[in-house]
Amino acid sequence: MVSLSQMLCFIFTFFLSGALASTGFAHNPILDKGKDKHKDPEKLMNKSSFCIECHQEETPGIFEEWLKSTHARTGVGCADCHATDAKEYDTFLHAEKHYIRTVVSPIICAKCHKDIQRDYFTSGHAQALEVLKTIKEDDPRFPVVSLYKDDNFQQCSGCHGGEVALDDNHLPDEATWPDSGAGRINPNTSHGNCSSCHLGHRFSSAAARQPETCLRCHDGRNYPEGDIYRSSAHGMVYATQTDKENLGKLGFYFTGKDMVAPTCAFCHFNGSGHGQRTRHNGAWRLPRDLTHPEAPMAPKNADKLRSNMKAVCNQCHAKTVINRFFDNADKRLAEYQEKTVQPKLKEYRRKLAEVKEGTERENIIKEYTRFLAEGKRYRMNLYMGNIGRTQR
């Protein structure tokens, strides 16, 4: 026998699906403020109707973004992510009616996406701020990173994230919010920010699959991936591709048949390739850390990680071509590290040990920063198609 609560949930989902089926959502009883004020909180699942009543008029852009989302289609409303109760430490009374939280952390997303959350928490994205905090003095990157430690890496928070603090009213402190960084430390102490890639209130897979989303952070002198991708054969095919509709294809992964040109997510996250599955840890196909000046191998399973990447490549390229490409890149990398990087690292370590402070040290670090950026560009170019260059 169907219970009253089950029937109400069915009614909510039915009406919400109808709203998405037509752009004329004003005719839907749930979304039509003029027909039903929804004063009875039991009339709708999780009280999201109260949010809808106001926000479809006060913030129509955000409302319509949500309306077009998979969340809306499956009956996930505002309250599922933002609602809480008065006892929670990050709660405040919104519009003098409802207790909500502003910061939606991956812990909230994990109510539905548990496996994704577990995978994401191990990633460099979720740990982006913590990585900066834990770099030790013997790490070759420390001289550069140390410049930003005094203000707790606030200058890095746009991409790496910052620590979000709450004020006396349980609202995010204006000095730490808004914060869109991938490695944000949330008020509940969890690390990460799903909306850094799944942007806005649509939280679409298509947005996370577009290289433009990745290039929001992975671009510039110290993060050359964006420039390298744009000038690579893959990037040029993507840029000149007129039909990108498949980026919004429902489901957890594409295959090579779905894509004219690979994007960042296609190679590093999607479950494309034989035996692969979608991951939310981009290192799952990276046998080396090319961002590190010493380019260390992965501590374990390096061969497996290389196989994961080759499986993606194999959807469009022959195995012989793939093997030649990686063999050539590995050979050039070894030569570059031995002849250029290691001698320079030794020289800079000596200089930095001798000069502890003052303008001279600042100039050494500036020069050292350029050297690290050039090395990163050369290494990444080797594996992204431009045969190793330190600059254009």
384 three-state secondary structure: helix
Q: At what angle do helices 302-313 and 319-336 cross, to 10 degrees?
A: 130
Across all residues in the chain, what is the average pLDDT?
85
In 3D space, the residue among 132, 123, 176 whose CA is nearest the CA of residue 156 turns out to be: 132
Query: Tell me: the pLDDT tens digits for 137-148?
Result: 999 999 999 999
Task: Please state, in angstroms and rounded to a whole number, the distance separating the CA atoms of residues 49 and 56.
Answer: 10
Contact 294, 340 (CB under 8 A): no
4-18, 169-183, 208-222, 295-309: segment of lowest average pLDDT: 4-18
* Residue 311 near residue 253 (C-beta atoms within 8 A): no
pLDDT of residue 193: 96
Position 37 pLDDT exceeds 50: no
| DSSP run (H or E) holding 313 | helix 302-313
Please give the pLDDT value at position 47: 64
Tokens 């489901």, residue located: 251
Instruction: For residue range 345-372, list pLDDT tens digits in order.
Output: 999 999 999 999 999 999 999 999 999 9
Report the pLDDT value the prediction gives residue 21, as an integer from 0 to 100. 40
Q: Quick one: pLDDT at residue 19?
A: 42
> Residues 6 or more apart from 202 whose CB is under 8 A from it?
65, 66, 68, 69
Run of H or E including 279: none
What is the spatial distance between Cα 163 and Cα 152, in angstroms, rounded to a whole number?
Answer: 9
| pLDDT tens digits along 246-257 | 777 766 566 777
In this prediction, what percent of the chain has a pLDDT beyond 90?
60
Residue 388: enclosing H or E segment and its boundaries? none
Residue 41 has a pLDDT of 41
Q: What single letter denotes the amino acid at residue 222?
A: N
pLDDT of residue 11: 44
pLDDT-based confidence at residue 389 (cuts at 50, 70, 90): confident
Contact 12, 75 (CB under 8 A): yes
Q: Give the least confident one: 159-173, 206-220, 378-392.
A: 378-392
CA distances from 281 to 14, 266, 271 (A): 35, 13, 12
pTM beyond 0.75, yes or no:
yes
Does the pLDDT value for residue 31 go beyond 60? no
Angle at 250 between CA 226 and CA 256, to 5 degrees: 55
Q: CA-CA distance, 285 to 264, in Å (whole number)? A: 12
Residue 178 has pLDDT above 50, yes or no: yes
Tell me how far apart the alpha carbons of residues 210 and 214 are, in angstroms, rounded to a whole number.
Answer: 7
CB 141 within 8 A of CB 130: no
Per-residue pLDDT reduced to its tens digit, 302-341 = 999 999 999 999 988 999 999 999 999 999 999 999 999 9
**Percent of the chain scoring above 70 in pLDDT:** 85
Three-class SS state of 9:
helix
φ/ψ (deg, to 5) at 57: -105, -40
Least Cα distance to 265 among 198, 208, 305 occurs for 208
Max Cα-Cα span within the chain: 80
Min mean pLDDT across 5-19, 76-90, 103-117, 255-269 is at 5-19
Q: How far apart are CA 22 and CA 28, in angstroms?
A: 10
What average pLDDT does range 31-36 have in this prediction? 40
Question: Which pair of structure tokens corresponds to residue 54?
Answer: 């106001």
The pLDDT score that the predictor gives to residue 242 is 67
pLDDT digits (tens, 9 = 90+) for 260-302: 788 999 899 988 888 888 899 999 999 999 999 999 999 889 9
Confidence tier at 53 by pLDDT (50, 70, 90): confident
- For the chain, domain boundaries: 4-83, 106-196, 208-384
Lowest mean pLDDT among 37-51, 108-122, 135-149: 37-51
Contacts of 37 (CB under 8 A, 6+ apart): 53
